[in-house]
Structure 1
């Protein structure tokens, strides 16, 4: 390539910046930020942890962190959204010949043990950190909407009706209560040995008993 062309290419690269990350890399970056945030919040508390510290621990710039998250507390959100998306997908593809209980019993939650433990530790923090409690509850508000939309699509409805809205609320509450029950009744040493998924499935199956197939 002639020197003039190389200079032009370099100038264009400088103007446009680095190519955007793929969605997969973005997802992993956001997860690493969430993991780093929880580690720092556990060690120092939310008030004593800065966004710059979270960014440094995650290996990104502060500018990148603020592009992904509006507040330092919201950095933990990716640990919560994965399960929401998974369950919404299951609900939407729920076969007509299966009961809700059978569908729930096939859902694998938090296959990554390390992320499960991190998420449980995050839920423990929500008892004493109001900012994290707000993020936790907001995630479940979004989950309720996602589940209602998935159930409505599965039923061929143009949107959630009252029955679907109540069912979605029951699923959301069951998941939240089961997670909090597990988190608040196990200690840090037990987090990786206790059967978190058993508690989640049991709560979902309790809710499912009021559903028709």
Structure 2
């Protein structure tokens, strides 16, 4: 179990180190495998999908698959994590002092709409979440990715909130914002609603965000 961190302030985060060529190649291979896994899970379901089939679809050897992932369900994690990485990066672009409610909504909408690559990624997520409905291990990966995203979001929110922000309020807001996106994607994936407009992930996420965070002191 991870140790609680709500009782201490968030330290300033060092700037990210540029990845090496080896690290970039590793990440690209993992993402290729993740895409292949998501496609196969959506096409034929988790039960009919094997690690061998995923490796073949990704164009890698089976030993390469197992170098990066312990099982077939875990293979989808890099693709799912990419969505959280993108939205945190958009939020991090906001200037400190910007009203947090505005910053959060703007980042959520930008991350869930507006570009063809985003729309294609949402359709992949829809297929995967539908496949996860009957696969406990796949759902566990989804929840773990969201938990990791929440923990990485807290320092971003703390920076925007400024010095003196209550660590408890920061954690609560990070949890609420993460759950707003998670719930919106889960609800949307169970429907045939479009990727934009009424019933879209962006619209649902903003609605969830407002309902979950409306009374939070950090947003007043």
So what's the TM-score if we normalise by structure 2? 0.74
Residues 42-96 of structure 1 show CA distances to partners (whole Å, capped at 9, x for unaligned) of 3332233211110110111112211222211011112211121223334444423
| Aligned partners of 1:30 and 1:78 also within 8 Å | yes
Q: More relative contact order in 1 or in 2 (CA 8 Å, sep 6+)?
A: 2
Inter-partner Cα distance in structure 1 for 2:70 and 2:142: 15
Q: Please name the residue that 1:11 is paired with.
A: none
Q: Please name the residue that 2:73 is paired with.
A: 73
Q: Please name the residue that 1:199 is paired with.
A: 204
Inter-partner Cα distance in structure 2 for 1:201 and 1:29: 34
Inter-partner Cα distance in structure 2 for 1:206 and 1:159: 22
| Secondary structure, aligned partner of 1:98 | coil
Pick closer, same or farther for the CA change 1:192–1:98 going to 2, 3 Å. closer
Inter-partner Cα distance in structure 1 for 2:72 and 2:212: 34
Structure possessing the higher radius of gyration over alpha carbons: 1
| Aligned partners of 1:174 and 1:207 also within 8 Å | yes
Q: Please name the residue that 1:165 is paired with.
A: 171
Correspondent of 1:131 among 125, 132, 137 = 137
Q: Please name the residue that 2:219 is paired with.
A: 212
Pick closer, same or farther for the CA change 1:66–1:169 going to 2, 3 Å. same
2:95 is the alignment partner of 1:99: no
| Aligned partners of 1:40 and 1:49 also within 8 Å | yes
Pick closer, same or farther for the CA change 1:193–1:60 going to 2, 3 Å. same
So what's the TM-score if we normalise by structure 1? 0.76
TM-superposed deviation, 1:205: 3.9
Q: Please name the residue that 1:7 is paired with.
A: none
Query: What is the Cα-based RMSD across aligned positions, in Å?
Result: 2.8
Q: Unaligned 5+ residue runs, structure 1? A: 1-19
Aligned residues: 191
Inter-partner Cα distance in structure 1 for 2:209 and 2:128: 21
| Aligned partners of 2:91 and 2:156 also within 8 Å | yes
Greater mean deviation of Cα atoms: 82-91 or 143-152:
82-91
Pick closer, same or farther for the CA change 1:193–1:155 going to 2, 3 Å. closer
